[in-house]
Structure 1
Amino acid sequence: MKPMFLRTFSAGLAAILLASCGPESPEPQGTDIDCAIGAGSDFAPVCTLERSADTGTVSFLIHHPDGGFRRVEYDAETDQIGVGDGADPLKVSGASTDEIAEFAIGDDRYRIPSNMLRSPAQ
């Protein structure tokens, strides 16, 4: 016969394991964009850009393939892109052009077509 604490512990452990087997999150909705997640990685179209508008500022949620994300904002009045939240600053790359906005946040780098930044909210 097992001691009482072992039966209680076993039941609690089973409940935790079952709870962690919940349904997966749905795929993010949006447009695929090029990103390079982590130091030394190459650009690939593996991130998803989700956009929302709020009184003159357009917010973007960039979903990483590993489930992480970054929030950025575009201000049409100043034609500037910036971090929506987080501790890491956004650095615009010298590779940005009229067609592509390229920037980094921490070790992660992103390329967003400029027309996606500047187009009216959907």
Structure 2
Amino acid sequence: MLLAAGPLLLLPAGCGSKPADPFATAEADRIECRIGTATDFDRTCAVERTAGPDGLILTIRHPDGGFRRLLVTRDGRGVIAADGAEPATVSVESGDGILVSIGGDNYRLPATVKPAAAR
């Protein structure tokens, strides 16, 4: 699904030929999440990155031991569910982030939205 604002890039462009790594800060391995019936987001979910045969896989680990796997797409959708029966819904939340929802779980991930003219 392409969003009206343009395709999503999970790794924002940086200086030089390689994209900047949005997980390269001190809190790089933690993202904000709201799991199940929680009412507030907190920075308690850990993110692991793995290169898979279809591309970059993000494994998001919940504080209770649960997890979700997301596949970073190259077609502008951002991410999709890498396994399981529930699809991921992606929406632009800010200029530098997306909201990914799967079932009752929600994750804020760093991302850049390309302008429509760059498509």
Pairwise TM-score range, normalised by the shorter structure? 0.5 to 0.7
RMSD of aligned residue pairs (Cα, Å): 1.8
Q: Distance in 1 between matches of 2:61 and 2:38?
A: 19
TM-score under structure 2 normalisation?
Answer: 0.63
Q: Deviation at 1:96? A: 2.7
Q: Which has the higher helix share?
A: 1
Q: Distance in 2 between matches of 1:40 and 1:54?
A: 31
| Residues paired across the two proteins, number | 84
Q: Which has the larger radius of gyration?
A: 1
- Structure 1: state its 5+ residue gaps: 1-29, 116-122
> What secondary structure is seen at the aligned counterpart in 2 of 1:96?
strand
Q: Amino acid of the residue matched to residue 111 of structure 1?
A: R
- Structure 2: state its 5+ residue gaps: 1-27, 113-119
Q: Deviation at 1:40? A: 4.5
List structure 1 segments (4+ residues) > 2 angstroms apart after TM superposition. 95-98
Residue from 103, 106, 109 that aligns with 1:106? 103
Q: Which has the higher strand share?
A: 2
Residue from 32, 47, 61 that aligns with 1:49? 47
Please give the per-residue CA displacement for 1:13-71, whole angstroms capped at 9, x wherever unaligned.
Answer: xxxxxxxxxxxxxxxxx710000001352110000010012346110100000000000
TM-score under structure 1 normalisation?
Answer: 0.62
